[in-house]
Amino acid sequence: MKKEVPIVVLDFGSQYTQLVARKLRESGVYTEVVPYHESIEDIKARKPQGIILSGGPASVYAEDAYKPDDAIWDLGLPILGICYGMQLITQHFGGEVVPADHHEYGKARLHVENECPIFNGVTDNEIVWMSHGDKAERLPEGFKVIGTSENSPYAAIADESRNIYAFQYHPEVHHSVEGTHMLKNFAKYICGCDSTWNMGSFAKEKIDDIRKQVGDRKVLCGVSGGVDSSVVAALLHEALPKEQLVCVFVDQGLLRKDEAVQVQNMFKMLDIDLITIDAKEEFMSALAGVTDPETKRKAIGEKFIEVFDKEASKHQDVSFLAQGTLYTDVIESVSVKGPSKTIKSHHNVGGLPDWMTFELVEPLREIFKDEVRKLGLELGLPKDMIGRHPFPGPGLAIRVMGEVNEEALRLLRESDAIMQEELKATGYYDKVWQAFTVLLNVQSVGVMGDNRTYDNTVCVRMVESVDGMTATFAHIPHDILEGMSRRIINEIDGINRVVYDISSKPPATIEWE
């Protein structure tokens, strides 16, 4: 029997869909994302108080356009459509949707045209985020305009008699300044939801889920030392007797400087037993001659599975593999809830090979990095561990452009260590979401003393973000960047140039590969 879900989001494939759920959960309203084609029986079983239709990459007038079960319109529940969801509402109720003469991407100012409960307390002319290539040309009968922007005369519409609302913009993204407020207004004032859900209740729910899934069998937990896998280990430690949890740390030779020792010390402090496997040679062998980013990621993922399976065979009754998979990993890799586009594959996403004998335990699969940190604090993990910057599962392999070898890893480790030291010394480590260096494998001419050099270029990448779905490059003072550059070039043989990455996500991703 499905539990009650105050707000159900139908996913039509937007990269931002899960942000809708995250924003509402942040406001205390439990929300779940389901595929756009979810059956009306399954939707009813959740006993929702409201439905949100997400954005998506398709066009509603296309022959194979994504459509929900028609019965959702007859449930009598409040409905909010976002972008594609708005166009779906417009078309369903007899309006017209056409390709826009000018695609609209980025910031716009929303002018509130009519009083409406969904805009309670919202500031007029505030920034919202647009991302669409189609537009409503004619509104359905019964709908009125409640918001406009410079390029969108129908930026927000409503039929209050039927409790149906729609936005052309994305209130769920960080750049829509009062978007969370609007979503909360929909849940609170229009759907009548209470704000009772929090990370403490999520922790209890996941601990209960783990106990039900695992029973009296054993779980192998893959540990990287990062925030995600550490929180998963802490959840499992809380949920299961010590003898049922086998935590395995694979030193694959792709870690940052001194990281293996730091991981081992951290788990001692948590009083969680940790098995360390030295698999450097196996991983380096698997990466020999590999230059394509996707091939690297898949080779590393396959090798991790092999190593874990080999370790599991040493323990009786191991039936599960636990991973720190996040929703950002999932949405960039595969379309799980809806028809979203694949951005890149992640080593821990997409299920297990057919030959494996155990199931996955992924308690963080539907939440974001900032929520994971809150969960970690709820579980009592120390703040310095929770505050660590994200580190990719494939490790430094995807921060070396081209083939991975020991010399490339040396240059990357040393430059990254210096960059981290300078960030911490200047107080900027906790001011940025993520910071790292990338070895470009591009040589350039330089001069040191009276000698000509022809050495490597390192790129420093620092971004500011809330959830990892969107990011902007960090505006670090030039004197700090200059100090990093000077130390990297002076202290590391083989590097004579440092550059700074000023691209944002989108269009770039945070990691280079």
* 172 is known as an active-site residue: yes
* 37 is known as an active-site residue: no
Among 421, 365, 325, smallest CA distance to 18 is for: 365
184 DSSP 8-state letter: H
**Do 37 and 68 form a contact (C-beta atoms < 8 A)?**
yes
**Spatial separation of the C-alpha atoms in residues 85 and 400, rounded to whole Å:** 40
Residues shown for the chain: 513
Instruction: Please give the single-letter amino acid code of residue 2.
Output: K
* 111 is known as an active-site residue: no
The secondary structure of 402-430, three-state, reads: CCCCHHHHHHHHHHHHHHHHHHHHCCCHH
Among 116, 168, 112, 105, smallest CA distance to 139 is for: 168
**Spatial separation of the C-alpha atoms in residues 426 and 484, rounded to whole Å:** 11
Among 465, 459, 473, 467, smallest CA distance to 512 is for: 459
- Peptide bond preceding 506 in cis form (omega within 30 of 0): yes
**Spatial separation of the C-alpha atoms in residues 328 and 13, rounded to whole Å:** 14
Handedness of CA 497, 498, 504, 510 (dihedral sign): positive
**Spatial separation of the C-alpha atoms in residues 82 and 70, rounded to whole Å:** 18
**φ/ψ (deg, to 5) at 479:** -65, -30
**Spatial separation of the C-alpha atoms in residues 270 and 245, rounded to whole Å:** 14
User: Exactly one of 83, 191, 221, 459 is catalytic; which is it?
Assistant: 83
In order, the DSSP letters of 26-81 are: HTT--EEEEETT--HHHHHHT--SEEEE---SS-TTSTT-----GGGGGS---EEE
Q: Which residues are CB-neighbours of 410 under 8 A, at least 6 positions away?
A: none
The secondary structure of 378-394, three-state, reads: HCCCCHHHHCCCCCCCC
Pairing of strands 96-112, 144-148: antiparallel
User: Exactly one of 32, 104, 132, 170 is catalytic; which is it?
Assistant: 170
**Spatial separation of the C-alpha atoms in residues 403 and 103, rounded to whole Å:** 39
Name the strands in the sheet holding 218-223, side by side, starting at the edge strand that comes first in the sequence: 274-278, 245-251, 218-223, 318-322, 359-361
User: Exactly one of 26, 32, 104, 172 is catalytic; which is it?
Assistant: 172
Q: Which residues are CB-neighbours of 161 under 8 A, at least 6 positions away?
A: 142
Integer CA distances (angstroms), 254 to 98, 281, 282, 379, 413, in order: 50, 11, 12, 29, 9
Exposed (0-12), middle (13-18) or buried (19+): which is 15, by Cβ within 10 Å? buried
Q: Indicate which residues carry an active-site annotation.
A: 83, 170, 172
